[in-house]
Amino acid sequence: MSQRNSAVTVEVKAAPSGEHDPVACTVLQVLDRVSGKWAIGILLECAHGPRRFTELERAVKGISRRMLTLTLRNLERDGLLTRTVYPTVPPKVEYTATPMALELYESLVSLASWAERHRSEIADARSAYDHSSAPDPTL
Amino acid sequence: MSQRNSAVTVEVKAAPSGEHDPVACTVLQVLDRVSGKWAIGILLECAHGPRRFTELERAVKGISRRMLTLTLRNLERDGLLTRTVYPTVPPKVEYTATPMALELYESLVSLASWAERHRSEIADARSAYDHSSAPDPTL
DNA sequence: CGGTATCCCACTCGATACTG
DNA sequence: CAGTATCGAGTGGGATACCG
């Protein structure tokens, strides 16, 4: 992976940014941080206390080593997780949610509550929409 | 685009879902709805009142017709926007945010406020991280 | 005006194999 | 134990051209 910009060797999300609307822009930045299939699950686990690599691998079911590492690195880079290496043998590494991440989690809960309140409303809207483009009965 | 499932002709996001953690799962569902580069910008515009197709095209700068249509369809499908067609000539179509969408917007604002509060903290974490994998000075 | 249809690239993510 | 390297499929999204 010979890339001129020598900073990081792992794939790290390049901030898309560059929006015009200040609010949309800000929200998008947060979203980019916690979007992706795994970030929230990992954050959630680490919010309950320090977690080791393999603990996360088991706790966040379905994740691959690769995605675990990648997501961990991005969260660490954004200051949402701290990575602590114990120079023992065998090696031991712990990931901990930062206070900032715990605050973020509170905001995410408000999002979740919105989803709970409107779960059925959304489901209804979906089926209504999907049925309105009705399949031709003559087929 | 001959697909047997005749419901919708446009590409519509198939909900990935299927997570194990209830909170992570719920949040992910919301995120999938408003993720993507354009959903929030469009929602934001329509929150200020009914908007026509070409108004949105101009307001949400950088968006293509294709992505505008796709995102509008998804938002409509989830019941976040209502689409009103005036059968005039030339045609006129208006998109309006639903009450549910306006509520969601409030939640997004709390996310934005989190981002504001921690903007510098994140920036610091980033540069610290990026500098720690220091490029070889001898190059 | 308000869309669709196509083509295509970049990026995400999973599977698998290898390493300090 | 805690990663890294590589390959390849699937998908998000841009450009462009066409349609009722």
Closest CA to A17 of A36, A35, A38, A31: A31
Q: Would A96 be classed as within a structural domain? A: yes
Distance CA A24, CA B59 (A): 12
In a domain, residue B111? The reply is yes
- What whole-number distance in Å separates Cα of residue B3 and Cα of residue B36? 25
How far apart are the C-alpha atoms of B107 and A30, rounded to whole Å? 13
Q: Chain A to chain B, count of Cβ pairs less than 8 Å apart?
A: 146
Residue B10 falls inside a structural domain:
no
The set of residues with CB closer than 7 Å to nucleic strand C is A 11, 13-14, 35-38, 62-67, 70, 90-91; B 1, 9-10, 52-55, 65-66, 69, 72-73, 83, 90-93
With b for 16 or more beta-carbon neighbours within 10 A and e for fewer, the B56-84 pattern comes to beebbeebeeebbebbbbbbbbbbbbbee
Decide if A1 is inside a domain. no
User: How many domains does chain B contain in total?
Assistant: 1
Residue A4's pLDDT band, with cuts at 50, 70 and 90, is very low
**Strand D footprint nucleotides (protein C-beta < 7 Å):** 1-6, 11-17, 20
Whole-prediction pTM value?
Answer: 0.86
Q: Tell me which amino acid residue B108 is.
A: L
Interface test with A, best of B1, B25, B30 (most A CBs within 10 A): B30
Q: Which of A114, A121, A126, A127 to mutate to test the interface with B (most CBs of B within 10 A)?
A: A114
Q: Which amino acid is at B70?
A: L
In a domain, B120, yes or no: yes
- Domain of residue B55: give its range: 21-132
Establish if A24 touches chain B: CB-CB under 8 angstroms. yes
Query: N- to C-terminal Cα distance for chain A?
Result: 53
- Asked if residue A32 lies in contact with residue A15, where contact means CB atoms within 8 angstroms, the answer is yes
Contact by Cβ (8 Å): B127, A15: no
A131/B7 touch (CB, cutoff 8 Å), yes or no: yes
**CA A111 to each of CA A40, A48, B56, B107, B127: distance values in angstroms, whole numbers, following the listed order:** 13, 20, 26, 6, 29
Average confidence score pLDDT of chain A: 86
Looking at residue B17, the DSSP 8-state letter turns out to be -
* Domain assignment present for B137: no
In chain C, which nucleotides are within 7 Å of a protein Cβ?
Answer: 1-6, 11-17, 20
CATH number, domain containing residue B59: 1.10.10.10
pLDDT digit of tens for each residue in chain B (139 aa)?
A: 433 444 445 566 655 544 567 888 899 989 999 999 999 999 999 999 999 999 999 999 999 999 999 999 999 999 999 999 999 999 999 999 999 999 999 899 899 999 999 999 999 999 999 988 766 555 5
Burial environment of residue B93 by CB neighbours within 10 A (0 to 12, 13 to 18, 19 or more): middle
**B34 part of a folded domain:** yes
Residues 78-137, chain B, touching A (beta carbon < 8 A): 78-79, 100, 103-104, 107-112, 114-118, 121-122, 124-126, 129-131, 133, 135-136
In a domain, B106, yes or no: yes
With tokens 């996310």, the residue in question is B111
